Structure 1
Amino acid sequence: MNLFKNRTVIGIICILLSLLICFGVTPLFNKTVSQKTEIVRVVKEIKAGDEITKDMVQLTEVGGYGLPENVIRQPDTVIGKYADADLSIGDYILNTKLSDTPAAENAYLYNLDGTKQAMSVTIKSFANGLSGKLQSGDIVSVIAADYKKQGATVIPAELKYVEIISVTASSGYDANTGEATTDEDERELPSTVTLLVSPEQSMVLAELEADGKLHLSLVYRGAPDNTAKFITAQQEINDALYPAEQEDAAPEQPSGVGEAEPQQTAESEVAE
Structure 2
Amino acid sequence: MSFLKNRTVIGVICIILSLVICFAVTPLFNQSISEKTEIVRVVKPVKLGEEITVDKVKTVEVGGYNLPDDVVKNLDTTIGKYASADLAVGDYIIASKIADEPAAENAYLYNLTGEKQAISVSVKAFANGLSGKLQSGDIVSIIAPDYKKQGATVIPAELQYVEVIAVTATNGYDANTGEPSEDDEKELPGTVTLLVTPEQSKVLAELEADGKLHISLVYRGDAANSAKFTEAQDAVLTELYPPMEKTSEEAASEPSSDGAQSESTESEVSDTAETPAESEVE
**What TM-score do the two structures reach when normalised by structure 2?**
0.77
How far apart, CA to CA, are the structure 1 residues paired with 2:154 and 2:212? 11
Q: How big is each residue's C-alpha offset from its partner over 1:125-163, in whole Å with a ceiling of 9 and x where there is no partner?
A: 111111111111111111111111111111110111111
2:226 counterpart of 1:233:
no
The Cα shift of 1:13 comes to 7.7
2:216 counterpart of 1:217:
yes
The Cα shift of 1:27 comes to 2.1
Which residue does the alignment assign to 1:245?
Answer: 244
2:97 counterpart of 1:97:
yes
The Cα shift of 1:244 comes to 1.6
The Cα shift of 1:61 comes to 2.3
Compared with structure 1, are the counterparts of its residues 10 and 223 closer, same or farther at alpha carbon in structure 2 (3 Å cutoff)? closer
The Cα shift of 1:8 comes to 8.6
2:169 counterpart of 1:169:
yes
The Cα shift of 1:216 comes to 0.7
Question: What secondary structure does 1:245 align onto?
Answer: coil
Which residue does the alignment assign to 2:42?
Answer: 42
How far apart, CA to CA, are the structure 1 residues paired with 2:192 and 2:116? 16
The Cα shift of 1:37 comes to 1.5
Question: What secondary structure does 2:174 align onto?
Answer: coil
Greater Cα offset, 156-165 or 56-65: 56-65
The Cα shift of 1:88 comes to 4.0
The Cα shift of 1:248 comes to 5.1
The Cα shift of 1:65 comes to 1.5
8 Å contact from structure 1 (residues 181, 187) kept in 2:
no
Which residue does the alignment assign to 1:202?
Answer: 201
How far apart, CA to CA, are the structure 1 residues paired with 2:88 and 2:38? 19
Q: How big is each residue's C-alpha offset from its partner over 1:54-97, in whole Å with a ceiling of 9 and x where there is no partner?
A: 44433332211122232111333213211223334443221122
* 1:58-97 matches, cutoff 5 A: 58-97=58-97
How far apart, CA to CA, are the structure 1 residues paired with 2:158 and 2:95? 46
The Cα shift of 1:179 comes to 3.2
* 1:47-58 matches, cutoff 5 A: 47-58=47-58
Compared with structure 1, are the counterparts of its residues 246 and 209 closer, same or farther at alpha carbon in structure 2 (3 Å cutoff)? farther
Point out where structure 1 has 5 or more consecutive residues left out of the alignment: 250-272
How far apart, CA to CA, are the structure 2 residues paired with 1:7 and 1:136? 79
Point out where structure 2 has 5 or more consecutive residues left out of the alignment: 249-282
Question: What secondary structure does 1:244 align onto?
Answer: coil
Question: What secondary structure does 1:31 align onto?
Answer: helix
How far apart, CA to CA, are the structure 2 residues paired with 1:61 and 1:14? 39
Q: How many residues align?
A: 244
Q: How big is each residue's C-alpha offset from its partner over 1:33-72, in whole Å with a ceiling of 9 and x where there is no partner?
A: 1112221223444443232234443333221112223211
How far apart, CA to CA, are the structure 1 residues paired with 2:146 and 2:192? 21
Compared with structure 1, are the counterparts of its residues 145 and 27 closer, same or farther at alpha carbon in structure 2 (3 Å cutoff)? same
Which structure: larger Rg? 2
* 1:95-134 matches, cutoff 5 A: 95-134=95-134
Compared with structure 1, are the counterparts of its residues 149 and 69 closer, same or farther at alpha carbon in structure 2 (3 Å cutoff)? same
How far apart, CA to CA, are the structure 1 residues paired with 2:6 and 2:203? 102
The Cα shift of 1:18 comes to 4.2
The AA in structure 2 aligned to 1:101 is E
Which residue does the alignment assign to 1:157?
Answer: 157
Greater Cα offset, 87-96 or 160-169: 87-96
How far apart, CA to CA, are the structure 2 residues paired with 1:11 and 1:181? 64
Compared with structure 1, are the counterparts of its residues 61 and 239 closer, same or farther at alpha carbon in structure 2 (3 Å cutoff)? same
The Cα shift of 1:20 comes to 4.8
Which residue does the alignment assign to 1:256?
Answer: none
* Two-structure CA RMSD over aligned residues (Å): 2.6
How far apart, CA to CA, are the structure 2 residues paired with 1:193 and 1:9? 81
